[in-house]
């Protein structure tokens, strides 16, 4: 069975989030609440280079985590009080580095945080633990095949004619270049 990068990302996210929450004693660093602890990212998870950076993630209650989307001041204030502006600058520089990560990157992060977190005995933990062990073996045995990216429908339906004009496959109508 093929393993999707997205699946390995989910596993890495789970163990990283668990580690962060355990490190911060399941207490929101912003308001001190222990209700619905989550792993909150200062720079959003869309920045892959700092998605698993321990200085970019802290335990937040669900409310503070959601509020961060609309008001980033409290979280940045917390960070600057705990660390320094220099550290924030470096974190930002790191966040905006764009690289293409492969499945081994996510497997590496998943294994690292699996080993670093305290093992717990609940269904969710055991579910991710089983998946990690299974995929780790599979990838190391070379059983991972890259799944090609789907070509968008737009691209499929357009081609260039002899003069270099873009034409639609269906109906051969002239298509816009843009």
Q: Is 86 exposed, middle or buried (0-12, 13-18, 19+ CB in 10 A)?
A: exposed
The backbone torsions φ and ψ at residue 42, rounded to the nearest 5 degrees and listed phi first, read -70, -60
For the bound state, the minimum distance from the C-beta of residue 65 to Zn ion, rounded and expressed in Å, comes to: 8
Contact 94, 53 (CB under 8 A): yes
Query: Per DSSP, what are the bridge partners of residue 167?
Result: 159, 174
Contact 64, 39 (CB under 8 A): no
- What Rg, from alpha-carbon coordinates, does the chain have? 22
Give whichever of 33 and 138 is closer to Zn ion, judged by the CB atom. Answer: 33
Q: According to CB under 5 A, which residues from 26 to 45 bind Zn ion?
A: 28, 30-31, 33
Q: According to CB under 5 A, which residues from 63 to 82 bind Zn ion?
A: 64
Give whichever of 12 and 28 is closer to Zn ion, judged by the CB atom. Answer: 28
Stretch that binds Zn ion, among 58-66, 79-87, 106-114, 121-129 (CB under 5 A): 58-66
The site that binds Zn ion (CB under 5 A) totals a number of residues, namely: 6
Site for Zn ion contains 59 (CB under 5 A): no
Q: According to CB under 5 A, which residues from 122 to 161 bind Zn ion?
A: none
Q: Tell me which of 11, 17, 20, 61 binds Zn ion, using CB under 5 A.
A: 61
For the bound state, the minimum distance from the C-beta of residue 20 to Zn ion, rounded and expressed in Å, comes to: 14
- Measure the CA–CA gap between 47 and 70, rounded to whole angstroms: 18
The token pair that represents 72 in the structure block: 């980033």
Return residues touching Zn ion (CB under 5 A): 28, 30-31, 33, 61, 64
């Amino acid at each position: 069975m093929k393993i999707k990068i997205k699946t390995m990302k989910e596993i890495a996210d789970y163990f990283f989030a668990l580690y962060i929450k355990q490190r911060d004693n399941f207490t929101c660093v912003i308001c001190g609440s222990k209700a619905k602890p989550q792993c909150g990212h200062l720079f959003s998870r869309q920045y892959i280079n700092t998605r698993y950076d321990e200085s970019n993630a802290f335990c937040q209650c669900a409310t503070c985590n959601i509020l961060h989307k609309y008001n980033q001041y409290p979280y940045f204030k917390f960070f600057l009080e705990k660390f320094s502006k220099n550290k924030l600058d470096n974190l930002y520089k790191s966040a905006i580095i764009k690289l293409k990560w492969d499945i081994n990157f996510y497997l590496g992060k998943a294994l690292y945080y699996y080993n670093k977190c305290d093992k717990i005995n609940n269904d969710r933990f055991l579910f991710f633990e089983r998946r990690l062990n299974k995929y780790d073996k599979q990838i190391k045995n070379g059983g991972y095949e890259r799944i090609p990216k789907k070509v968008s429908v737009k691209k499929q339906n357009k081609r260039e004619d002899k003069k270099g004009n873009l034409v639609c496959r269906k109906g051969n109508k002239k298509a816009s270049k843009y």
